[in-house]
Structure 1
Amino acid sequence: MEVKRLHAAARYDAARHFDMRSLRLQGLDATHVEHFWVGLSHFLPDGGAQWDAGPTEKVYVVLSGEITLTTAGGDVVLKALDSCVIPAGEGRSIRNDSRLPASMLVILASALPGSQSTGEGNNG
């Protein structure tokens, strides 16, 4: 077993995100997980992420607050303990339209099946 304590989690900067702070909890440079990584993102009010589509699927789990996700299919508001999967290649943007901070777990594959990519450019 490999334990990662929250106080030891390193901050990382996610491309095209704003008014948000992220911590790497598992995988990539944090622990020896091979197939996925887990981040914890804290979005300030009006914070979010610009439209982007990543090469691997991702799972979002809202821990507190509310997050609005926009895809080609429209807007969806996720509240505490709601979750979703964004398929590989599907575009999305993220917004915290509320007046309170929101926290979300982000789970992504470390690499495409059959590739040697680390997934480091796929920041959620």
Structure 2
Amino acid sequence: MHVKRFADAKPYDAPNHRLYTGLRLFGAEAGGAKSVIVGVSHFLPGGGAGPDASPPEKVYFVLSGELTVIIDGKETVLKANDSCVIEPNEMREIVNRSNEVCTILVAVVPAK
């Protein structure tokens, strides 16, 4: 078993993200998992990512606040305990349109 204390999580920068802080929990440089990368992202009001697409499949799980996910012009608002899967190479944009911080758990399966 590999335990990661939240206090020990290290920040990381993700391309094309704005008004956010990302913390790596497992995978990549954080270690502990080899087939998945897991992180927590905090998006300030107005923060978000994209629009862009990338090869890895992604899962977003909203821990608190709300996040608008835009796929093919269709907007879906995810609230606490809602989640979604972003398919490989699917064009997406995410935006925090609320006045509260939005915190999400992100799981990414790296493309092989």
Same structural fold, with TM-score higher than 0.5 when normalized by the shorter chain:
yes
**Runs (5+) with no aligned partner, structure 2:** none
Aligned residues: 112
User: What's the counterpart of residue 76 of structure 1?
Assistant: 76
User: What's the counterpart of residue 28 of structure 2?
Assistant: 28
Conserved 8 A contact 1:19-1:43: yes
Conserved 8 A contact 1:16-1:49: yes
Which structure 1 residue ranges, 4+ long, deviate > 2 Å from structure 2?
none
SS in structure 2 at match of 1:29: helix
SS in structure 1 at match of 2:15: coil
TM-fit CA distance, 1:59: 0.3
**Cα distance in 2 for residues equivalent to 1:87 and 1:65:** 23
**Cα distance in 2 for residues equivalent to 1:19 and 1:73:** 22
**Runs (5+) with no aligned partner, structure 1:** 116-124
User: What's the counterpart of residue 62 of structure 2?
Assistant: 62
Conserved 8 A contact 1:55-1:88: yes
Structure-to-structure mapping, 1:1-124, within 5 angstroms: 1-110=1-110, 112=111, 115=112
**CA RMSD in angstroms, aligned pairs only:** 0.9
Name the one with the larger strand percent: 2
TM-fit CA distance, 1:8: 0.7
CA distances 1:26-60 after superposition (whole Å, capped 9, x unpaired): 11111231111101000000111120111011000
**Cα distance in 1 for residues equivalent to 2:15 and 2:5:** 25
**Cα distance in 2 for residues equivalent to 1:97 and 1:4:** 31
Conserved 8 A contact 1:4-1:31: no
Quote the sequence identity (%).
48
